[in-house]
Structure 1
């Protein structure tokens, strides 16, 4: 019979969650999968409101993003403390491959954060035209205005990007 003192202690649920979020942020797919099997909650958020899906996608980890979606992470369930969705994060970071994956998995292209901003506005602000084209192709409503009254078009105009503003009219 083995002595219980010889059995290694399992990490606490809190530690599993912290390791899970760190693994997602770093794109360590094997660790993410193992921690999910160990009981990590796929929709858990850190102190700043970042879920594993937000962390993986914001940091450009396509395979980790796919793994988390396969495990049940919801594209719109994943928001940060300001209400930015995973799609909004990749729209300003320029991760077009992850944007395509999130849209294919049902991300709402017209989702608005607490300031009323959309992924199209983020893509416009950061001149991510490939992502903006993807969003438009999937029904992005360019007439949506944020809480300051700005649409994607007016944001382009404010940045002096007349060509993009014209395209968005």
Structure 2
């Protein structure tokens, strides 16, 4: 249950961690293709394509739906238990599982991660499978991280803290 002490603790948490960050330029930034640190420069399209394919292969992860189902089974939850705890509609849950490469909204991925009660490291890995991350430059992300670190898994409590912080609450997609 959300109380005044928890709200005060959340405010202090946000004050300590909130950062405005600059976005690095897309071109000319620090991202490099594999081999660039050794001075290897592709001199043909074929070489660049090979480097890119290698990079994608090394950095690719399992699809969101696969990871979701694997974690659900590991946690011993029935499908209905998971989507109800996440406040996700049964039809959406079914669509996620049957659509192959379905990309959920960030709020949906967060809701599932909360329902799965994932510790922060696993929580972050799970969000990454959907293409998301928690950021120190987002108040709502800090609220979510605070809840995970304090093992506040109930979405009603998370929503209460998001609302108290003036942020958009988690809701059905």
TM interval, shorter chain, is under 0.3
Q: Which structure features the higher share of helix residues?
A: 2
TM-score normalized by structure 1?
Answer: 0.24
Higher RCO structure (Cα 8 Å, ≥6 apart): 2
